[in-house]
Every structure is written in structure tokens, then in C-alpha cells.
Amino acid sequence: MAQRREGKGTHKNAEAVGGQYAAGDHTDDPPLSDPPTLARPLTRHDEEAFRDLLEDAATIGGVDMHLVERDYWMCQIASSLLSLESKRYPGSYTSIGGGSLLSLAGITERLSEDVDINVTFVGGADACKPKWGKRLMEECQAQVEEDLAIKGTRDPNGGGNYFRTVRYAYPSVLPQMGEERPAVKSDKGLRDAPREHLMRLNGVPYVGRVAQDQMSTLLPGPRVPMHDDLASRSILGTHPRQVLADKLDAVCWREGVVPTQGDRALDRMVGRIRDHYDIHCLIKWLSDRQMLDADDFLETVERTKKQEGKLRARMRITRPERDRPPGGYATLNAWTPGTQEHSALSEHYPRLRSVVFGELPTYDEVCETIRSAEAAI
């Protein structure tokens, strides 16, 4: 029986590929892995072996098997979306961001619940007409359906021409509660993401890391063949510094409405408790690689504010706005003991244990990491 893993040490595939940014035309970049297809032998085609591997991974990480399986499908859907070559608008491309990027790249040890995909139009967001955006979103969905032989269903309340929420139901090898098939949610949205602000990383699903460790005899358990669906692959993603800026901004504006919305705003902050764990991991990852520079971070914050504000106005998305505090993000109440925000978050934070397969830092450790980066953020 597999033994539960304690702490870190599962991120050997998480190093950046080629420098700080993925700049230029990328002629020397490693190619994206071909998306898995039913024509290739895949681990999930051997249902018994795949089920045993899911059980091993769940035992090692102390997480639910169903979440491990969903994470596997999250990776396959992400890989398919990242291989998009738009036939209608050549030169447009996709990149991955948010928690799905952090999980795949090994920056966090958290099973992601969805796939966040940025769609960059070849002429820039300003040049993208509504019908062109709609066609790009439809191309993304068709790409996944063709590659993986699964069906995507658009959320009726999930955006319009520039943003789409699609749920991809997948064939589970595990017993299910109820008749509804399990699905991975994918949020796809138009965003100006110049290649110089992206980064290539190696990505692999959590269950793939477990299989690799078993192959190298680090862990007991059956040796499952390393098919394409478990192997490391090159992914084009939002630079982790940008992800950090996005998540800090989200905590900031949610906290900003607490004085007027009270418990409802606190509940909204608690509902995104995972962002605080992600921020902790991002700060450590960037600091270890000397990528958390104050000037670069502030430039990212200002650029994002300008670009995203213009895009939200065009998409008619209303959202509270709040500037970065004069003393920096580290001064937010969320990380200040004695505040109602800190109390609510620290109380609910341990719930993350159910989706974190590595060591879960305490909320005090999370706050200390963020406060230690005060000069940079």
C-alpha cells in the first residue's frame, strides 16, 4: 500500500523553461506536447490500472480520489486548449493562468477545481469584434471536444462574446453519487497577454507525479506505464508575478467592500480562501528565483489596472475597484491579527486540507510570508 507523502519534494517538473520570460517568437522553445487522443494508449484506457493509481495518489496526498481524477482531467483539458491553432484568426493563441497554472507547474500543491484560459486575439483585444471573440471561444470548445472525445456545455450565465464558462463532462472510472456526470469547469476569456509577459513551464497532473515517483521506486505501488497523459508537458502560462498581482488585487477589492456589505463580503472572502494559500506559495516561488522585485511588481500592477479596466468596460463587467493601499498589499486586514477579516479567514483556512496534497502551512505562516514580502508588494 502506498504511503502518505509528507511535505514537499514533488516538484521536479516545475522549473521554468528558458529564462525569466518567454519572449520573442519562441523558435527555440520546446514544442507543446501533442494533446492526448483516443488513438494513443492512455492510462485511463486501462480502467483498473488507472483506478489503482488514483487510489495510490489519494492515499499519498490525503485527498479524495474523485478530486485526483478531476485534476487529471483538468490537465488534459488544459493541454488541449493550449494547443489551439486558430483557423479563423491565425496568430491568436491561448495561455493558462490562475490556480490551474499553479497546480500544473508545481508552484502549489493544491488540486485545482477548474481551468483558467486566456485567449489573446492576434490584433489585440481592442481589435477583436464581438463576433470574432465568439468564434474564438467556440474554437476553443471544439478543440477540446475533438481531442478528448468529451462534450462541453456552455454555462447559460457564463459570459458572452468575450468570455465563456464551459463545463466538460468526463467519463469517470470511479463510483459516483447521483446521476450527474462529473465535469471540469473552464473559464475562457479574452485578455491581452503579450508573449513577453508569459512564461513557459513544465506541467504535469498530480497523479502523473505519483506515477513518476513509483517508476523511480521512490514510492511503493504498481508501475504504471508513463503514457502521454501522465507525462510532463510544456505549458505557456501567465507569468507567476502576474498571477500574484491578480490574486492580491482580488483580495484587496473584496476586503474593500466589507465595511458596506458586512457578513456577505466576509463570506465572499472566505469562499476564496485558496487565494491566500496560493499567494503564500507564489511569494516563496518567486523569491526563491529572485523574481520578486518591487519595481517589476509595481509595473505589473499598473499595467494590469490599465488593461483590465479597459477590457472590463468593453465587456460591461462591473466590479468594485480599489487601489493598492499606500503601505502595500501586505498591510491588508486579511493578514492583520485582531481584524474581523483575519479572524474569519483563519477560522476557515484549515478546510483547504481537503484539496492540498502536500504540506499545508498554517494561516499564521501564510500571513508571515506575505508580511515578509512587504517591501516588494
Shared domain for 344 and 201, answered yes or no, is no
Q: pTM of the predicted model, to two decimals?
A: 0.87
* pLDDT in the model for residue 223: 67
Position 343 in a domain:
yes
Query: Contact 235/106 with Cβ under 8 angstroms?
Result: no
Question: Within a domain: residue 2?
Answer: no
- Whether residues 329 and 359 share a domain: the answer is yes
Q: Indicate the angle between helix axes 65-82 and 130-148, nearest 10 degrees.
A: 120
Answer whether residue 143 is part of any domain. yes
Looking at the structure, tell me whether residues 264 and 193 fall in a common domain. no
The count of structural domains within the chain is: 2
Give the model's pLDDT for residue 2. 52
Please tell me the distance from the alpha carbon of residue 237 to that of residue 122, in angstroms, as a whole number.
17
Last residue of a domain, one of 208, 238, 268: 238
Whether 119 is in a domain gets the answer yes
Q: Is 236 exposed, middle or buried (CB count within 10 Å of its CB: 0-12, 13-18, 19+)? A: buried
Report pLDDT for 222. Answer: 62
**Would you state the pLDDT for residue 178?**
79
* Residue 315: predicted pLDDT: 64
Q: For position 82, what pLDDT does the model report?
A: 94
Question: Is 55:174 a contact under the CB 8 Å cutoff?
Answer: no
pLDDT of residue 66: 96
Domain ranges, residue 255? 242-372
Return d(Cα 135, Cα 133) in angstroms, integer.
5
Nearest to 171 by CA among 44, 295, 296: 44
- Residue owning grid cell 488540486: 111
- pLDDT by residue for the chain (377 residues), tens only, comes to 454 545 443 444 444 333 333 333 333 444 444 444 445 678 898 899 999 999 999 999 999 999 999 999 999 999 999 999 899 999 999 999 999 999 999 999 999 889 999 999 998 888 889 899 999 999 999 999 999 999 999 988 766 788 899 999 999 999 988 778 999 999 998 888 888 889 999 999 999 999 988 887 765 666 667 788 999 999 999 999 999 999 999 999 999 999 999 999 999 999 999 999 999 999 999 999 999 999 999 999 998 888 776 666 666 666 778 899 999 999 999 999 999 999 999 999 999 999 999 899 999 999 999 999 999 99
CB 263 within 8 A of CB 249: no
Same domain, 223 and 261: no
Closest CA to 293 of 327, 331, 238, 244: 244
**Local structure of residue 191 (DSSP, 8 states):** -
Let me know: does 188 contact 38? Beta carbons within 8 Å. no
Contact 82, 95 (CB under 8 A): yes
Cα(96)–Cα(238) distance, integer angstroms: 6
- Reduced to 3 states (helix: H, G, I; strand: E, B; else coil), residue 173 is coil
**Residue-level pLDDT at 141:** 95
pLDDT single digits (tens) 81-93: 999 989 999 999 9
For every residue of 43-88, which 3-state class applies, written as one string?
Answer: HHHCHHHHHHHHHHHHHHHCCCHHHHHHHHHHHHHHHHHHCCCCCC
- CATH number of the domain enclosing 126: 3.30.460
Q: Are residues 202 and 246 in the same domain?
A: no
pLDDT at 257: 95
User: What's residue 138's pLDDT?
Assistant: 93
Distance CA 276, CA 265 (A): 16
3-state secondary structure of 238: strand
> Exposure of 230 by Cβ count < 10 A (0-12 exposed, 13-18 middle, 19+ buried)?
buried
Q: For residue 347, what are the contacts with CB-CB under 8 A and spacing of at least 6?
A: none
**Residue 96: predicted pLDDT:** 96
Residue 26 maps to a domain: no
Last residue of a domain, one of 174, 208, 238: 238
In a domain, 38, yes or no: no
Q: What local confidence, expressed as pLDDT, does residue 218 receive? A: 63
List phi, psi (to 5°) of 89. Answer: -130, 70
Same domain, 261 and 203: no
